[in-house]
A and B are shown apart, each in its own frame.
Chain A
């Protein structure tokens, strides 16, 4: 499979628990993005990696959120002490520079988090 892969697809957790999501980007892509999408809204940017370096973080990314991309390959997004407001779809995307222009971002199918 050459697309962006996200695991798990669905996660139900109790408030206060920690959760971790994984994203495997397209193998040759050096840029990786995390977005959050709530019902009726477009994806909202959370954070961006170029290779293993986390270059940008949105102010939406509170200190309970942390993301890593060791070795510039897969990435993990951890949410500590989950709150009901964290319930959302978490989308991962990747892209690659193609000559003078970046390719479009390719998205995974997302991880739907429900905090009860």
Chain B
């Protein structure tokens, strides 16, 4: 069975600073994909970034990058130059092998201060 763990219930960051949101995962399947989603107060889950288990490079999408450390089974999200609009819940998710069903962590609440 696969498991996603997000240990930070809440994080605070100053505007324009960088912040790292932690995610660890557990699976015995060598083929998996890792995702990060943002959920603002409106409720919609917004896809941010994807990392495949066989990808050699860390994924980047604009201000978002994924620090993928396979041996440690971690997939931390780094947001550079935080903006007030980044305040939201952030969820790490994993899809394993032949399953098409993403499993989500409990999320981290990020608050960006001006």
Contacts and interface: CB of A to CB of B under 8 A. Distances in A.
Given A31-B100, A48-B100, A101-B52, A43 B91 contact: yes
Contact of B45 (A41, A93, A95): A93
Interface of A: 31, 33, 35, 40-45, 48, 50, 56, 89, 91, 93, 95, 101-102, 104-110, 112
Q: Interface size class for chain B?
A: 20 to 34
Contacts of B42: 109
A41 B106 contact: yes
B100 A43 contact: no
A42 B43 contact: no
Interface of B: 4, 6, 33, 35, 37, 42-47, 50, 52, 91, 93, 95, 100-107
Given A48-B100, A48-B101, A56-B101, A104 B45 contact: no
